[in-house]
Structures are given as C-alpha cells and as structure tokens.
Amino acid sequence: MNWLYRISFYRRIQTALLLFLIFPLLLISGFTFMANKQANEENIRTSMEGIIGILANDLSKTANDVTYTVNQFSLPQTNGVFNSLRNLKYLQSFNNFNEYRDYANLNENATLLIGKLSLVHVSVFFVNKEYYPIVGSIKSEDVAELRRDKRFEHMRGSEAASGIVEWFRVEKSGGYEGVFGEDYYYFIKKSVYDPIRHEVLGTLFIGIPESYFRKLLLNSSGGVISLYEKDGELIAGTKGSMDHLSAKPLSGWMREQVDVPGTSWQLTYDIEKKSVAGNLVQRYSYMLIAMVIVLFIFLFMSIVIARGLNQPIGKLMRIVKQYGEGNTLIRYNLKGQDEISVLGNTINHMMDNINTLISKVEAEQEEKRIIELYALFSQIQPHFLFNTLNSIKCNLALEGNQTQSEAIDSLMSLLRAHLRAGEPHQLAEEYRLLTQYVSIMRMRNRLDIEFSVELPEQFRSFSVPRMLLQPLVENSIVHGMTRHVMNPSICVRVEEVDEGVEIQIEDNGKGIDEAQAKVLNERLLKGAEQQGERGVGLYNVLRRLKLTYGDKASLTIRSGIPAGCVCILFIPITEEGQRGDVT
C-alpha cells in the first residue's frame, strides 16, 4: 500500500468516493421501498373508505328506522293508540277491563311499529306518566332502578312539545346488571306529549344493543372501527377504541372518518401503518440483507484506504493536542509535498508565532502585576484608619465625652460592615448595625428619632446580605425626617408570610402619595434604576435581593397611614434562597 502515500491527499479522497457508489444503490432501494409502501397505503385507504362507507349506510338505516319508529309511536293522532296513552297515563295496576283493553291495544300497535326493528333485537319499553311500564318486558322495580339515572326521566314539557329525541349510552356495569342482558345499550328517548291537555303522557325508550354494534363492526377486516357522537363521546367500537374521539390518529396509524347520514354520529376507521406494509417489508428485508453483505465488503476496503488517509491526519492531531497541553517545543516532521505536509508546515509556523505572542503577553502581564502592586502599596491601609479612630474613641472616653466615643464606635462598626458588604450575616447583626447607623444620624441631623425593631426569635439567625436595610433606613431619614415632623420614628418589623419572610421599614415622615409610590413600584418592576428622591438606592437593594434569593424576591413601596412611607421586602424561604450568594 506504499503507492497510496505517494499520491496526493485529494487523489486519496477521489479513490474513496469511487467506493461510495454503494450508497446510491441503497438510496434508490430506499426510495423504491417508500414509493411501493405509499402506493400500498393508498390502496388500503381506498379499501377503508369503501368499508367505512358501507358501515355508515347500515348505521344510518338503523338509526333512521329507530327514529321513525319513535316518532310514529309518539305522533299525536285521533286513533286508538293515542287514546290508550291518555287513558293509561296514571295506570299503576289494572282496575277494570277497559284499562286492560287499552293496554292490549297499545302493545299490539307497538308490536307492529317495532316489527321492522326485529333484526336489530332492540330493547323497547314505554313508561307512563307515573313511570309504570306499559310496553315491553321491563318491570316496575327495574324502572325504579333506572330512574337513579336522570336520563331515564321524562322530558320537560317544552322539550316533549318540540318533538326532539335524545340519544345516550348506558353501561351494564353502571349498576344495571339486573335490568340489561347486554354489556351496553345506546338508547333513543322521546316523551309523548298531549298538545290538547298540554301534558306528558309517558316516554318511549328504544335501546340498540351492544351485540348489534359488535356484529356490524367486527365484520370489517382488521383495524379499529369506532362510532362517536357529535361531542366526541364513544357510542360503540371494536377493541382498542378510545373513549373520546381525538383530533388526530395515534402516531403510526392511518384514519378514515365519515359522518353517518341522517345522524350526528361520526364513524372512524383506524389501522396501524406497519400492518399495511404486509409482505412488502419481508421482500425488502431480503434485499437489505444482500446489501448488508455488500456493505461489509465496502467497509473492509474503506478501512484499508481510510488508514492511509488517517495516519498523517492523526499524527497532526496528536501534535496539536500535545502543544495544547503545554509541550511548546513539539513540531510536525515534514515528509513529501502533499496537502498534509503543507498543512503541517503551516501549523509549525503558527505554533512559532503563538510562542512569540505568549512570551509577549507574559511580559506585559508581569509588568501590569508590578504596576498594580505599587498601586496597592500606595493606598491607605484600612487597619490604619481603624487604629486611628480607635485612639480617638479612647481619648474621648477618657475625657468623659461618652456620646462622641459611642458615635465613633458606631462609625467603626459601619466601616467594617462596608468593607465586608459582600458577605451575609444574621438579621440580629443587621439590626445592630441599623441601630448604630440611626445613632450617628441622630447626631448628624440633630433629630430625636425613635428607632424600634420587632424581630421574632425564630428569625434572629435568618441570613441576609450585609447592609441590605441601611439604604432604606437612610431614605426614611434623609427624605422623610424634617424639623416639622413631630416625634419622628422608624419601625422595622419582621413577619412570616406565605412562602417567605416580609420585612417592613415604616416611618412617619413627610412620606409620598399613592401616585409617587405607583411610579416607584413600576420602575422597580421594570428594572429601571431610579435617580433622585426616594429612588436612591432602591434599585440596588432590589438587585441584591434578586441576585441572592431569586426572582421571587421583591421590594414594594407604599404610602404610610396616616403619613410616612413603608418599604416592604419579601424574601422567599427556600433552601436555595438561604444558600444564595450575597452580591
């Protein structure tokens, strides 16, 4: 195979492409299979349309016959049938011969009307106004059991007068084992209405049994045939029918759907696509086996050729990988004049340029580090400030100026907190810092501000970002407290609410009105940083809340009652929120 390495890389690719002629054969075979499969599916679909059309016509005939029978029976006429219905509307037992004669006459006429439905083996019964069975073999106790279902009640007078009929399905398993012999019936119901006396004389029920649907639908060959009402509820179906009609067939299935003429029913025929392929898959499987054998031969030949292509590329990849791992002295050993050799030579030059650039960057970084080190040394060290303030505090204490000494002590605590603002601490510590801050502000503004904290014991160790509440208290003092505010006060309280903790900072200063509060809340909700007045620092507080506890955390501003301003922070209590990084 030495000849392979003497030709160019381009020629090697051409040699490999010659072997890929096998793939067009596979593609052609695949397209042929798909075309035949599609043609087979079209034939099956045509057959499905014929079958479902015949079934729809048969169902339409049955439904029309049942509807015609019901309408004929309930049609107001000046004949013996209607008079018998009037005479028997209150019947509960036979008290005289005339009642029995009307009963016999009614059953004889009903038998003639229902005779054409004998092939369907329907279940027919008529109950009078008092729910006593007049027609059919049903018993009074069976009627009482059926009446647990409101669908077996008489129609309202307005419905009966309009002549409408109602269809519904009844399951034997629904508590009617002693009444029905079939698994289910699909009933048509119509109440007989006396237009002269304006009353319901009774209701006729005709039930199409499950055996009729089973015999009709199972005559089809394969697939799942289902009959649905207009609202998608199942009327009848073969094994696998869904209880409710779906908009599309299941994945991998075909569907044909028609409306049953003269009814609101829909008949669907679903068949699995893999069963449509039939012997077509088996025939093509043999062809596929032959192609697989040819493919193995191709793979063997391609491996031999690919080895000649891959060896120099693999070597070049290993050199690049080692260079990336820190071996900056490694280089590609040039052999020949093919494309790989040219590429290797280019990579060698690139690695030389990278080494030069790295040396330059390292020199620049070292120079930058020295400059930054000098800058750090030139800064005033924080411990020098603290030592100086501590000396001043001690001198003031020794001179008896305890007030100024405590103010400097509070200032030192606040400075330490600012230096560690990126670290969390407990609410108890946060309120200690707030107390010291308010003490300093009393001295600066010469205001006798009353500061109170309502912190339940269970929240003293609750973790919050350091100096989170200080900007809000500062807003209350700077923008709310003036010389005209009588008895200025600030109250901070913590309460447990649904799914979190609520912290309220309330003052009795000059406050803000509802319109101003609404504008502030809208800007905070949109994430816009407010400048000036009470918006100073609010955006930063909200930003730290969301970075620490997530998007559920919130800051809301509202006007106080009767005056002042209230800032409400909501912190969700979650494991993630308690562990959140303070920003």
Measured CA to CA in angstroms, residue 16 lies from 22, 24, 29 at distances of 12, 14, 22
The residue among 383 and 541 whose pLDDT is bigger is: 541
Q: Where are the strands (E) in 400-553, listed by range?
A: 424-426, 450-454, 463-465, 489-497, 500-507
Mean pLDDT of the chain, nearest integer: 79
Size (the chain), residues: 583
Identify which of 218, 525, 57, 4 has the alpha carbon closest to the alpha carbon of residue 517: 525
Identify which of 104, 83, 86 has the alpha carbon closest to the alpha carbon of residue 94: 104
At 568 the pLDDT is 92
Q: Answer yes or no: is pLDDT of 448 > 50.
A: yes
User: Cα–chain-centroid distance for residue 367?
Assistant: 56
SS in 3 state form for 126-149?
A: EEECCCCEEECCCCHHHHHHHCCC
Q: For 1-38, how does the pLDDT look when each residue is reduced to its tens digit (9 = 90+)?
A: 565 556 655 556 656 666 666 667 777 777 777 777 77
At 241 the pLDDT is 86
The greatest distance separating any two alpha carbons of the chain, rounded to the nearest whole angstrom, comes to 129
Strand partners, 133: 127
**All residues at 6 or more sequence positions from 61 whose CB lies less than 8 Å from its CB, including other chains:** none
Phi, psi (degrees; rounded to nearest 5) at 26: -65, -40
Residue 90's CB is within 10 A of a number of other CB atoms, namely 11
In eight-state DSSP terms, residue 583 is -
* Structural tokens at position 129: 């106004």
Helix (H, G, I), strand (E, B) or coil at 435: helix
Number of Cα atoms under 13 Å in the Cβ half of residue 195: 8
- Residue 30 CA to residue 248 CA, distance in Å, equals 28
Helix (H, G, I), strand (E, B) or coil at 170: strand
* Structural tokens at position 135: 């027609």
Rounded-to-10 torsion of CA 32, 35, 38, 44: -70
In eight-state DSSP terms, residue 476 is I
- Full strand arrangement of the beta sheet holding 199-209: 133-135, 123-128, 199-209, 184-194, 166-171
With b for 16 or more beta-carbon neighbours within 10 A and e for fewer, the 474-492 pattern comes to bbbbebbbeeebeebbbbb
- Residue 31 CA to residue 42 CA, distance in Å, equals 16
∠ CA 441-444-448 to the nearest 5 degrees? 60
At 582 the pLDDT is 42
At 580 the pLDDT is 40
Q: Answer yes or no: is pLDDT of 78 > 80.
A: no
Q: For 359-384, how does the pLDDT look when each residue is reduced to its tens digit (9 = 90+)?
A: 888 877 876 676 555 444 444 445 44
Residues 208, 214, 217, 223: is their CA dihedral positive or negative?
positive
* Structural tokens at position 385: 């400030």
- Residue 428 CA to residue 460 CA, distance in Å, equals 5
At 534 the pLDDT is 47
Provide mean pLDDT across the span 144-157. Answer: 90
- Residue 92 CA to residue 86 CA, distance in Å, equals 14
Q: Which of 86-100, 142-156, 195-209, 305-319 has the lowest mean pLDDT?
A: 305-319
Provide mean pLDDT across the span 336-342. Answer: 75
Entry pTM? 0.45
Identify which of 33, 32, 48, 36 has the alpha carbon closest to the alpha carbon of residue 249: 48
Q: Which of 299-313, 449-463, 510-524 has the lowest mean pLDDT?
A: 299-313
- Residue 559 CA to residue 512 CA, distance in Å, equals 6
